[in-house]
Amino acid sequence: MPRRPVFDVVKKVFSVLSEEPKTILDVSREAGVSWEGAKRVLELLEELGFVVKTPSGYRLVKKGTPGSEETYFKVYIDPERKKRAQALLYLVSRTWKELVGTEPGPLFVQKIAVEVARDLNLDVPVLRYKYSMFIPVDPAPVDHDFGEEVKQRVRTLIKEVSSMNIREFINFVYSRYDDRIFSLKEQILAKLFRGEVDESLESSLWELMVELDDRELREYVARYLGLIQPFLGNAPPELIPLFRMLFEALWDYTATKLFWIDYTRYYPDVLPVNLAANLVASKQFLEDLFSDVTTIVDSIVEKKLDTLQRSP
């Protein structure tokens, strides 16, 4: 099932759930989705801790919270933190234009702001996502004066990185933050794009599994390892794009869950429905892709075994 239809079904199911229990049939009718679709989504929501199953049906653990169009995944961020975050990103963008004379790329703005926020303990939300840590808002010219120490730190960092290209800057970011998870992801994707399904790839995946601090994510990496291990050093060409696609889906779910984990540390009592729906949809897409690739892998393995048995 493509990810977008899954996302739409999840949003519809979320829209009818409440703290009062509802049966699968109730949810199916009210959300306008099939009984099987409602059941599948509710089971995923239960697995991820968004709902609990009672004798009377499924109920939300906590009420969904309206988000904002100005934040990533439309998550809720309290007004003071949002204002501070927008102002910091705007300060970086404005200072870059003053010092360098060009419009800065969003990645440069984000990572410089994260570095400043972490170094100087500024109270802005810093979360992990696909490319390491970031601040989940866009720059905005809001009124906030950080003081000279923050401004000087921004200027120093811009002078340090403004001559780097994107690849040099990403490597700089990963080494600066000691973000081993993200540098390993880059290594693994680079190997897969080169078609290198070998012991070096296996080693990077083992290391990634060790670095991840979430049991479910470690189990997914272990499943991925189990799929590729029979083909180390001799992967059929038709499997390599599938292995790459599967890892990209695995990373998409990993990054979304890391975002979720970090977000809940800031707002443990908030249920951001849009983020939750993205998390469930990316998990379902990953599960479906695992199933499809496993079927293909099993077929190839069976053919190999059959050939070996037939050979004299």
pLDDT over threshold 80, residue 162: yes
- What pLDDT was estimated at residue 1? 41
- What pLDDT was estimated at residue 308? 61
- Percent of the chain having pLDDT more than 70? 92
- What pLDDT was estimated at residue 159? 94
More confident residue, 11 or 257: 257
pLDDT by residue (tens digit) across 69-108? 678 888 989 999 999 999 999 999 999 999 999 999 998 9
pLDDT by residue (tens digit) across 112-138? 999 999 999 999 999 999 888 899 998
CB contact set of 237 (below 8 Å; sequence gap of 6+) = 195
Average pLDDT over the chain, rounded to an integer: 88
pLDDT over threshold 60, residue 4: no
pLDDT over threshold 60, residue 3: no
Give the containing element (helix H, strand E) for 176.
helix 166-177
Half-sphere exposure for 101 (CA within 13 Å, toward CB): 1
Classify 3-61 by CATH class. Answer: mainly alpha
The answer to whether 16 and 7 are in contact (CB under 8 A) is no
pLDDT over threshold 80, residue 307: no
62: nearest Cα among 276, 222, 238: 276
pTM of the model: 0.86
Using 50, 70 and 90 to split pLDDT, how confident is the model at 2? very low
Q: How far apart are CA 224 and CA 293, in angstroms?
A: 10
pLDDT over threshold 70, residue 282: yes
Half-sphere exposure for 254 (CA within 13 Å, toward CB): 26
- What pLDDT was estimated at residue 312? 59
Beta bridge partners of 54: 57
- What pLDDT was estimated at residue 143? 84
Domain with CATH 1.10.10.10 in the chain: 3-61
Q: How far apart are CA 184 and CA 166, in angstroms?
A: 17
* Radius of gyration in angstroms for the set of CA atoms belonging to the chain, rounded to a whole number: 23
Q: How far apart are CA 94 and CA 76, in angstroms?
A: 26
Q: Is 144 exposed, middle or buried (0-12, 13-18, 19+ CB in 10 A)?
A: middle
> What value does the mean pLDDT take over residues 172-189?
83
